[in-house]
Amino acid sequence: MAARDLNLDRPEPGEAPGPATVHLAPMRRRHLRAVLRIEAQVYPRPWSVGLFMSELALRSARAYQVAKVGGTVVGYSGLMFSGDEAHVTTVAVDPAWHRRKVGTRLLLNMARLARARQCRVLTLEVRVSNLGAQALYREFGFVPVGIRRNYYTETNEDAIIMTAEDICSPAYERRLARIEEAVGGLTIVERSRW
């Protein structure tokens, strides 16, 4: 499964703060209409409903979340588990909600889900041209470890492979706590009942 280029939501200086309350919940079939609407807005080659359904069916090896504000899905993320590694498969935020820390909250949640599964490493791919996203990932401790040539076939763009190591360490938890404190507002996380 190819990972997705992650969309950025870093605020510009002087920009209004993010939403006061964001609910993060396991993605369910009922969320797919909203997810597909966002998907079509942010990716040149959107995933199909069938692909999302097949990912959701892999409950022991995947974790997909939605971000909701006032009951409206404004973003989503996916994580794939393999041994002691977790791989970010996708993160997207509705363009109307960019730069309000929704993506940061989703990434914080994915890091914590990976830690809960005792993963030591978190990986992702990002477009070479997406410098803003790369800066956000560096805040999360990701460092470049390689290049995938022509990874994004729809644009013939290379991907940078980025990895955060030792994510189960106390130092990494302190990093996450600092990021979370800077986000502000309230994030309510609903854990899966599976």
Q: In what side-by-side order are the strands of the sheet with 85-93?
A: 143-152, 157-164, 121-127, 85-93, 72-82, 62-69, 21-26, 186-189
Tokens of 102: 């929704």
CA distances from 4 to 14, 81, 84, 95, 161 (A): 30, 15, 21, 16, 11
Residue 139: half-sphere exposure toward Cβ, Cα within 13 Å: 19
Q: Which residues are catalytic?
A: 125, 137
